[in-house]
């Protein structure tokens, strides 16, 4: 009997020892689980495994301001021109056709975008036309480096008139033409000249440019002032009424000012080839601003300002046309269908921006409305 009591006593204590911790645990507040820290990665969060990667929805489309409507791929169209033409510059005409210089074949071409058909006019032996612009008379005017002359082609009869430069402008390497508001044709010669031609007299005049070789693009502002860009000289030149040129220095040295265009306010926009920038000079304030183009290796070549004051550039590095909105200070790039397009000049008319794809014998248009 005594042995049984001892056994029962021990059994009760053993049961109590087992149950008591469970009762105590049930009466305590629950504790948070311990989470071990991940190994150190030097401040960099380790990537998630593929199965745990989050799904990212595409960013919503941003509607640009009304001055810069969205452009789809369908609004970019190319037009083949005869093989070997080497189209260099374009000039959209009021009748809907587009003139272009066929530099390699020594001709002036005309494209009808409605049909895609082209027609070429021979300009003369040794012709190497560079720039073209439609004058106040509705005719295309050409700077022809091979002929060292300004050339006019009648848009109806296709009669060719040549206005040779004087002896003082020999070897000018004629480049780009532009009309001022008085109807005077101004032009650049890359070997170190700029000049003018009054169609009423038919007598070209030439002037020596500061710093010698380099005059490239040229443009007139709404008030009639004419400016040119010097690629080799890396400056913007303002042509004075007496035929002299004032040098305007961009903020970035040796920037390679290539082409220039004016907006409706008279501000000058410059493609800075050597430094991948677009520059702006405001004659009203004398102030400069510059912006770098997007991308890894941008090469801004041509420049043009459309009727909505949007700035267009050709980017050799990206094989694209680039639009810059000055109000938003934002770029938008439009890759070109053919490569290497090598668009060396841009010109337009309301709703259209045209370029000559010299690398692939095509013209290209971006329709902006």
Say whether pLDDT at 64 is over 80: no
Residues shown for the chain: 369
Q: What is the pLDDT of residue 73?
A: 62
The band of 71, judged by pLDDT with boundaries at 50, 70 and 90, is confident
Question: Quick one: average pLDDT of 309-337?
Answer: 97
Residue 34's Cβ-count burial label (10 Å; 0-12, 13-18, 19+) is exposed
The DSSP code sequence of 182-242 is TS-EEEEETTTEEEEEETTTTEEEEEEPTTSS-EEEEEE-TTS-EEEEETTTTEEEEE-TT
169-206 confidence digits (pLDDT tens): 999 999 999 999 999 999 999 999 999 999 999 999 99
Q: What residue spans define the domains of the chain? A: 81-367
79-114 confidence digits (pLDDT tens): 999 999 999 999 999 999 999 999 999 999 999 999
Q: What is the pLDDT of residue 131?
A: 99
What CATH code is assigned to 81-367? 2.130.10.10
229-285 confidence digits (pLDDT tens): 999 999 999 999 999 999 999 999 999 999 999 999 999 999 999 999 999 999 999
Q: Which residues contact 360 (CB under 8 A, 6 or more apart)?
A: 338, 339, 340, 341, 342
């Amino acid at each position: 009997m005594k042995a049984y009591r001892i056994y029962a006593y021990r059994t009760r204590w053993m049961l109590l020892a087992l149950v008591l911790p469970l009762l105590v645990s049930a009466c305590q507040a629950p504790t948070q689980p311990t989470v071990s820290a991940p190994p150190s990665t030097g401040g960099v969060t380790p990537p998630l495994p593929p199965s745990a990667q989050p799904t990212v929805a595409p960013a919503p489309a941003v509607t640009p301001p009304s001055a810069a409507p969205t452009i789809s791929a369908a609004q970019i169209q190319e037009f083949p021109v005869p093989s070997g033409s080497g189209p260099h510059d374009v000039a959209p005409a009021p009748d809907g056709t587009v003139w272009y210089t066929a530099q390699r074949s020594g001709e002036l071409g005309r494209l009808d975008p409605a049909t895609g058909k082209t027609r070429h006019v021979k300009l003369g032996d040794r012709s190497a036309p560079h720039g073209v612009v439609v004058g106040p008379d509705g005719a295309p005017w050409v700077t022809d480096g091979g002929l060292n002359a300004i050339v006019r082609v009648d848009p109806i009869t296709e009669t060719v008139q040549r206005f040779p430069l004087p002896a003082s402008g020999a070897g000018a390497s004629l480049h780009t033409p532009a009309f001022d508001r008085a109807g005077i044709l101004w032009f650049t010669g890359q070997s170190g000249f700029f000049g003018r031609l009054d169609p009423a007299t038919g007598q070209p005049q030439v002037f020596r440019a500061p710093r010698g070789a380099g005059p490239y693009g040229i443009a007139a502002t709404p008030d009639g002032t004419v400016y040119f860009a010097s690629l080799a000289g890396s400056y913007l030149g303002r042509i004075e009424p007496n035929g002299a040129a004032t040098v305007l220095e961009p903020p970035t040295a040796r920037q390679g000012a290539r082409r220039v265009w004016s907006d409706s306010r008279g501000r000058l926009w410059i493609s800075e080839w050597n430094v991948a920038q677009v520059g702006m000079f405001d004659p009203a304030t004398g102030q400069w601003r510059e912006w770098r183009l997007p991308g890894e290796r941008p090469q801004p070549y041509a420049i043009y300002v459309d009727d909505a004051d949007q700035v267009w550039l050709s980017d050799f590095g990206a094989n694209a046309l680039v639009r810059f909105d000055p109000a938003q200070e934002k770029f938008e790039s439009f890759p070109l269908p053919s490569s290497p397009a090598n668009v060396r000049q841009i010109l337009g008319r309301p709703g259209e921006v045209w370029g000559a794809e010299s690398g692939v014998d095509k013209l290209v248009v971006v329709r902006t409305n």
